[in-house]
Structure 1
Amino acid sequence: MIKYYNRKTKDYEVEKVAGEKYLNWTYSSPVGMKLLEGIIKKKLFSSIYGWYLDRSLSKSKVKGFIKQFGLDMSQAEKDEANFTSFNDFFFRKLKPVARPIDISEKAVVSLGDGRLFAYENIDLNKLVQVKGFTYSLKELIKDNKTASKYSGGVCLILRLCPTDYHRFHFIDSGICGETEKIKGAYYSVNPVALQKVEKLFCENKREWSVFKSDNFGDILYVEVGATCVGSIIQTYTPNKKVTKGEEKGYFKFGGSTVILFFEPDKIKIDEEILKQTNLGYETYVLMGEKIGDKA
């Protein structure tokens, strides 16, 4: 059972996990772990499943998924009947009014929908994956020079569940550089998996880029793939000016994670979110929602 904090209700809620029984069995049983290491974490497994979800045959899964997880489809640009495949539904766009953005230049907003951990004054060699498991930023992006800029800064980890809106956005106006791609495995990023696989973020396929924001310094974006995420799609144009809230990219099917790193003394995260992180709980946030302020 995974609990997270809801800022609106000021209470804890239990996450509805897609494929929960399968996930628990895979990461908890000897047979499941053997299948994980031998087949499931491999690119071929995710690519084949992703190929199926791109086909019209997979449309039959959409209605049941919406009903099972109680998704509000009135927020989507397309009607349920107009999706061409399950992936078309999965990375659906939302109506602009569904995700209002705090446009204040001093407001730090969430890059997407998901469950958020926030850490201040970070040690680059001991970034927190889950309690007891750490990793280093140098291992994560394989670029020592870039990594060194963020010592003592802020780290935000936004975990996107399969039930979440799966597009991610720029949190400020500015210019983003080229995307660097790192090949890797396809472990799940669910807390069940994070408690079983050491340095999971450094094992999985990932992409990173530096966003030179107008108000919050140079922000390091790291997108991490996961089981059945056949692709991380970058939709932005490198080295072109973007506005706050503009789309950066999206994930195809599967739970995924975006990690942001800020230089020291650039932002201050809301105390409520920091408190829940210290207690071990993620905070549920929506794209465009204010989560902090300019320092």
Structure 2
Amino acid sequence: MKPQTLRDRLLLQEDLNFLLTNRVPRIALTRFMGWYSRIRSPGLTRFSIAVWRLFTELDLSDAKQQRFASLHECFTRELRPGARPFDARADVIASPSDAIVGAHGTVAQGQVLQAKGFPYTLLDLLGSPGLAQAHEGCRYVTLRLTSSMYHRFHAPHDLRIDRVTYISGDTWNVNPIALQRVERLFCKNERAVVECRLQADGARLTLVPVAAILVASIRLHCLPQRLHLRYRGPNVIDCQAQAAKGDELGWFEHGSTIIVLAPPDARLAAGVDTGSRLKAGQALFERLPACHETVTRPS
């Protein structure tokens, strides 16, 4: 019997979306996409981009170059200088990437939300009891990058990067439909935990880029190696690096998610809420000056 109501049609569309993007050999498909995207053929690339545009809002008007030898070049494209100005105010933690804002809130009893009714623990996400405890009471926000977005991400503030922990995993889709159906999804997918300190006062800020189907490769400039499904270690990589606000930190091969864990004195910037679309550099959090405390930096 054909669906008779809008709700029935929407549920059917969600079921089909979930089946087509998750009930497939995800890792094999992701590895195939990695191989395909690196084929250097301008003709094949133009054709692939044309097909891509049929399904997404791909906008290359602010790209540094307009012709690409491979899909990989298009996925990881740079932008024209000045295309993403970063909010220079000292009390602002900027969005590290172009994104759609997802779940956000305060870390309470070690738990955060991936979607309404779907909690997960920071310990499962970060893999470190000490780091999870250090972020108790902190603010978090989930930033989702769609496939057509600019895929590079940047320092949201002046940072010192202390270490990166790579956690291999699955490649579930991270779209809203999957987030409402797959429990602890971010804790199952491949991800990198980037531990940082704000240079101003040593407050903790952790970024967690999460890979997804077709996207299982993360490049961080502070590391010599690329993090991907075939990477086998080391798992914890000490990394004494510094980055100024707006400096490029790395990129995804396609599009995915970045979870930002900010200091407890941070509040979402005015106008930012679930569903908001942000450009890299726009205000994401604002810190409350009256709450700032100087934190002794570890030696």
Query: Shared fold by TM > 0.5?
Result: yes
* Alpha-carbon shift at residue 68 of structure 1 (Å): 5.5
Alignment match, 2:186: 201
1:119 aligned onto 2:104: yes
Residues 17-54 of structure 1: CA deviation (Å, up to 9, x unaligned): xxxx99852525xxx59x72xx433x332112211111
SS in 2 for 1:220: strand
Maintained 8 Å contact 2:103/2:113: no
Q: Are residues 1:218 and 2:209 paired? A: no
- Counterpart of 1:233 (choices 196, 200, 219) is 219
CA RMSD of aligned residues (A): 2.3
Shift of 1:292: 2.8
Q: Secondary structure at the match of 2:246?
A: coil
1:13-52 aligned within 5 A: 24-27=15-18, 36=23, 39-41=24-26, 43-52=27-36
1:260 corresponds to: 260
Is 1:245 matched up with 2:246? yes
Asked if the contact 2:163/2:196 (under 8 Å) is kept, the reply is: no
Amino acid at match of 2:40: S
Q: Structure 1 residues 71 and 244 mapped into 2: Cα distance closer, same or farther (>3 Å)?
A: same
AA aligned to 2:279 is: L
Q: Residues 56 and 23 (structure 1 numbering): CA distance in 2 closer, same or farther, change over 3 Å?
A: farther
Please state if 1:294 is matched with 2:287: yes
The 5 A counterparts of 1:153-168 are: 153-168=138-153
**What pairs with 1:81-230 in structure 2 (closer than 5 Å)?**
81=67, 83-117=68-102, 119-215=104-200, 217-230=203-216
Highest Rg: 1 or 2? 2
Q: How many residue pairs align between the two structures?
A: 258
User: Percent of aligned pairs with the same residue?
Assistant: 28
2:13 & 2:75 partners in 1: Cα distance? 20
- Aligned mates of 1:242, 1:157 — CA distance in 2: 22
1:61 equivalent in alignment to 2:45:
no
What is the TM-score normalised by the length of structure 2? 0.79
Q: Tell me the CA shift for residue 109 of structure 1.
A: 1.0
Contact 1:159 1:256 survives alignment (8 Å)? yes
Tell me, yes or no, if the aligned pair for 2:103 and 2:115 is still in contact at 8 Å: no
1:187 offset after TM fit, Å?
0.4
Shift of 1:232: 1.0
In the TM superposition, what is the alpha-carbon distance from 1:163 to its structure 2 partner? 1.1
Q: Could you say which residue in structure 2 is the equivalent of 1:269?
A: 268
| TM-score normalised by the chain length of structure 1 | 0.80
